[in-house]
């Protein structure tokens, strides 16, 4: 409602991952929220990007015979930026952790913490697998068998691991446990949804230990400013993107105008954002984020979709057939944002057909076709006498337009994107019912009911306009076409979504191709 900064972020992609619909889901949710706020008069800013440091990337780069930076460049250009295009993300910025603005200012942040006494030298102790060339967590280790009985062995190599010690720098995170708990208590919205908040709180209540934030066993990362033999632990590095992209360290004015941000993250990385990240900011004397929202998993066949298993689905598999709008609509509508949601091709095609094609798309087609056929394309207007006074039925439509606009706006404020869409769809259904009931095709046959025909079509067109605006953050392509066909003024993306129902109609309509054509046969990509 009120104009202000709305800075929203997605996690940054780990470049070595393969893009799947889970990544795209997060992006779409953040994009919908950003577009909605942008169209509500806020200074909305959507940030996404890539996380490019760490040992794994170094290793795969070497295996591919290129430098890690070249490897990251390749993946950014061939995988991640294309993903954003595939699902039509209108991000305002794209940060890479190899950007100079990130590396330089992340170092400033680290130096600041060091100067303020939040960092100390300690010793990291961990199990190291020579085969993997990396430290393993105990969860990655299994009991040895045969010659190694009684020893811990690497689950991958089945060979004993060594207990190694390494000098590390530690962040005194333990000092912030009380302040974090106070934050969760005083600001229940800081971590959402509720289940996520509970988990974070119970985690912190068990006590926090300090965080090892540097590594010296490899060098692909940001150099620790006071000791260049160490690089910054990748998570510490990655989290800082949210402020380095907003001007931290180099543009105080910009930073002050954007920060704090709303972070949209998958629930797997909730803790990094809801515990470590605010602790880092507290240490640096920077305001904590506005909110951290952990969304659920996409379940495929009842299981968590996995990059390593074969259940990963590339977004383009869906968009090639259904288009980016349908992708966006489906995941935003079918899944309660914050909860796990099941994906199936059957559900996707069923919703596409009934809700997008038969519901919204057909509504647009029939209204525009009638204005073209019965009124020669001229939208009937009350002021010109081509439409008469409103009846109770007409006013009921107008009232619904206002009601769903307000309801959707309220839902978006709580990040309940699915509920916002459900509200808007009440208007879709009501308009279809209204048209069937008013029978404009009957009115058109009788010259005496000419004015009534005008009122009905006028009302229907305005309803469609309201829908175009309300749905533009979710299905920008289709609504853009509709807006044009309705003769709407200016760019649809500039229309105020929180006042969508106030649109009074254009002058003439123009022909409109089916927005969501029927898809006769769904070819489900075959895979394991």
Partner RNA sequence: GGGGCGGUAGCUCAGCUGGUUAGAGCAGCGGACUCAUAAUCCGUCGGUCCCGGGUUCAAGUCCCGGCCGCCCUACCA
Whether the CB-CB separation of 479 and 492 falls below 8 Å is answered with yes
Q: Is residue 81 at the binding interface for RNA, with CB under 7 A as the rule?
A: no
CB of 3 to RNA, least distance (A): 31
Q: How far is the CB of 108 from RNA (least distance, A)?
A: 20
Tell me which stretch binds RNA (CB under 7 A): 52-60, 68-76, 179-187, 487-495. Answer: 52-60
Distances (CA, A) of 437 to 74, 137, 375, 393, 440: 57, 66, 20, 10, 9
Site string (8-47) toward RNA, x via CB under 7 A: ---xx-x---------------------------------
516 forms part of the interface with RNA (CB under 7 A)? yes
DSSP symbols for 35-77:
HHHHTTT-EEEEEEEEE--SHHHHHHHHHTTS-HHHHHHHHII
Find out whether the peptide bond into 400 is cis, omega within 30 degrees of 0. no
- Residue the block writes with tokens 């009911």: 449
Nearer of residues 6 and 360 to RNA, judged by Cβ: 360
Residue 140 CB, shortest distance to RNA, in Å, is 8
The interface region with RNA, picked from 60-68, 196-204, 245-253, 392-400 by CB under 7 A, is 196-204
- Total residues contacting RNA by CB under 7 A comes to 77
**What is the footprint of RNA within residues 480-509 (CB under 7 A)?**
none
Q: State which H helix or E strand residue 182 sits in.
A: helix 177-186
Give the three-class secondary structure for 135. strand
> For residues 373-432, which are near RNA according to CB under 7 A?
373, 429, 432
Minimal distance, residue 256 CB to RNA, in Å = 27
Q: Which of 114, 132, 159, 172 is catalytic?
A: 132
Q: Which of 384, 389, 393, 439 binds RNA (CB under 7 A)?
A: 439
Output 36 or 233, the one with its CB closest to RNA.
233
Stretch that binds RNA, among 30-38, 109-117, 343-351, 447-455 (CB under 7 A): 343-351
Q: Within 450-479, which residues bind RNA (CB under 7 A)? A: none
Query: What does R_g of the chain's alpha carbons equal in angstroms?
Result: 27
Residue 43, CA distances (Å) to 30, 262, 351, 490 in order: 15, 13, 33, 20
Q: Which entry of 102, 118, 129, 136 is annotated as an active-site residue?
A: 129
158 binds RNA (CB under 7 A): no
Contact with RNA (CB under 7 A): which of 70, 116, 133, 347?
A: 347
Q: For 262, phi and psi rounded to 5 degrees?
A: -100, 125
Pick 5 or 414: Cβ nearer RNA = 414
Among residues 157, 205, 309, 445, the one annotated as catalytic is: 157
| Annotation marks residue 267 as catalytic | no
From 81, 159, 172, 304, active-site residue? 304
Beta carbons within 10 angstroms of residue 84's beta carbon: 20
Record the tokens describing residue 232, joined without a space. Answer: 């910054």
For RNA, give the closer residue by CB, 112 or 307.
Answer: 307
Residue closer to RNA, measured from CB, 9 or 40: 9
Q: Does 366 bind RNA (CB under 7 A)?
A: yes
CA distances from 195 to 94, 270, 303, 305 (A): 30, 11, 20, 21
In terms of C-beta density within 10 A (0-12 exposed, 13-18 middle, 19 or more buried), how is residue 13 classed?
buried
Residue of the chain from 21, 95, 180, 234 that contacts RNA (CB under 7 A): 234
Among 85, 252, 268, 393, binds RNA (CB under 7 A): 268
One of 100, 146, 206, 447 touching RNA (CB under 7 A):
206
> What whole-number distance in Å separates Cα of residue 54 and Cα of residue 277?
19
**Is there a catalytic annotation at residue 307?**
yes
CA distance 468 to 453: 22
Least CB distance to RNA at residue 149 (A):
25
Structure tokens at 134: 């990396």
Active-site hit among 102, 154, 375, 458: 154
CB of 332 within 8 A of CB of 417? Answer: yes
Residues from 303 through 342 that contact RNA (CB under 7 A)? 303-304, 334, 336, 339-342
Active site residue 157: yes
Nearer of residues 72 and 234 to RNA, judged by Cβ: 234
Pairing, β 191-192 against β 211-212: unpaired
- Under rule CB under 7 A, which residues in 286-305 are in contact with RNA? 302-304
Which structure tokens are listed for 261? 């941000």
Active site residue 304: yes
Question: Which two three-digit tokens encode residue 42?
Answer: 């806020």
Nearer to RNA, 260 or 359 (CB): 359
Helix boundaries (H) for 376-391? none
What are the structure tokens assigned to 390, written together?
């409103």
Closest approach, Cβ 119 to RNA, in A, equals: 13
Tell me if 172 contacts RNA by CB under 7 A.
no
Quick check: 69 binds RNA (CB under 7 A)? no
Q: Which is nearer to RNA, 373 or 496 (CB)?
A: 373
Tell me which long-range contacts 310-315 makes (C-beta under 8 A, separation of at least 24): 310/527, 310/528, 312/18, 312/20, 312/21, 313/20, 313/21, 313/343, 313/525, 314/18, 314/19, 314/20, 314/21, 315/19, 315/20, 315/21, 315/23, 315/24, 315/83, 315/86, 315/87
Both tokens of 333, joined, read 């509508």
Shorter beta-carbon distance to RNA: residue 37 or 289: 289
What CA–CA distance (Å, rounded) separates 456 from 435? 8
When the beta carbons of 64 and 138 are compared against RNA, the nearer one is 138
Q: Which range touches RNA (CB under 7 A), out of 242-250, 365-373, 390-398, 502-510?
A: 365-373
Q: How far is the CB of 413 from RNA (least distance, A)?
A: 17
Active site amino acids: 20, 23, 129, 132, 154, 157, 304, 307
């Amino acid at each position: 409602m009120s104009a202000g900064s709305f800075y929203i972020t997605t996690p940054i992609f780990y470049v070595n991952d393969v893009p799947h619909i889970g990544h795209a889901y997060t992006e779409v949710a953040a994009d919908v929220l950003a577009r909605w706020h942008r169209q509500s008069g806020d200074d909305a800013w959507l940030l996404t990007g890539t996380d490019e440091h760490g040992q794994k990337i170094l290793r795969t780069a070497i295996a591919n015979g290129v430098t890690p930076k070249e490897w990251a460049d390749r993946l950014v250009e061939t995988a991640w930026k294309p993903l954003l295009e595939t699902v039509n993300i209108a991000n305002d910025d794209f940060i890479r952790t190899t950007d100079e603005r990130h590396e330089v200012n992340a170092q400033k942040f680290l130096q600041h913490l060091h100067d303020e006494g939040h960092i100390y030298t300690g010793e990291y102790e961990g199990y190291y697998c020579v085969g993997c060339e990396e430290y393993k967590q105990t969860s990655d280790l299994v009991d040895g068998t045969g010659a190694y009985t009684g020893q811990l062995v690497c689950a991958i190599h089945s060979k004993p691991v060594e207990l190694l010690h390494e000098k590390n720098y530690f962040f005194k995170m333990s000092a912030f446990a009380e302040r974090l708990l106070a934050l969760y208590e005083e600001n229940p919205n800081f971590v959402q949804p509720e289940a996520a908040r509970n988990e974070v709180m119970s985690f912190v209540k068990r006590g926090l230990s300090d965080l090892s934030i540097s590594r010296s066993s490899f060098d692909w990362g940001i150099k620790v400013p006071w000791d260049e033999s160490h690089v910054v632990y990748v998570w510490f590095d990655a989290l800082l993107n949210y402020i380095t992209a907003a001007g931290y360290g180099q543009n105080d004015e910009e930073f002050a105008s954007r920060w704090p941000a709303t972070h949209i993250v998958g629930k797997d990385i909730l803790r990094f954002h809801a515990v470590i990240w605010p602790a880092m900011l507290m240490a640096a004397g920077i305001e904590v984020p506005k909110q951290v929202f952990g969304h659920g998993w996409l379940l495929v066949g009842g299981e968590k979709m996995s990059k390593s298993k074969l259940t990963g689905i590339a977004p383009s598999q869906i968009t090639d057939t259904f288009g980016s709008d349908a992708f966006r609509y489906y995941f935003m509508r079918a899944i309660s944002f914050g909860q796990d949601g099941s994906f199936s091709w059957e559900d996707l095609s069923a919703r596409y057909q009934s809700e997008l094609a038969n519901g919204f798309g057909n509504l647009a087609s029939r209204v525009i076709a009638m204005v073209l056929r019965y009124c020669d394309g001229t939208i009937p207007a009350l002021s010109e006498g081509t439409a008469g006074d409103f009846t109770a039925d007409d006013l009921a439509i107008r009232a619904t337009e206002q009601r769903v606009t307000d309801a959707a706006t309220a839902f978006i404020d709580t990040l309940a994107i699915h509920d916002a869409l459900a509200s808007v769809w009440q208007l879709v259904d009501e308009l279809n019912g209204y048209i069937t009931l008013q029978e404009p095709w009957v009115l058109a046959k009788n010259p005496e009911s000419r004015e009534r025909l005008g009122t009905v079509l006028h009302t229907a067109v305005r309803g469609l306009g309201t829908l175009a605006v309300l749905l533009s953050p979710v299905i920008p392509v289709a609504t853009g076409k509709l807006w044009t066909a309705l003769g709407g003024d200016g760019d649809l993306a500039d229309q105020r979504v929180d006042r969508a129902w106030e649109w009074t109609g254009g002058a003439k309509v123009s022909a409109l191709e089916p927005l969501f054509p029927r898809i006769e046969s769904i070819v489900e990509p075959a895979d394991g």
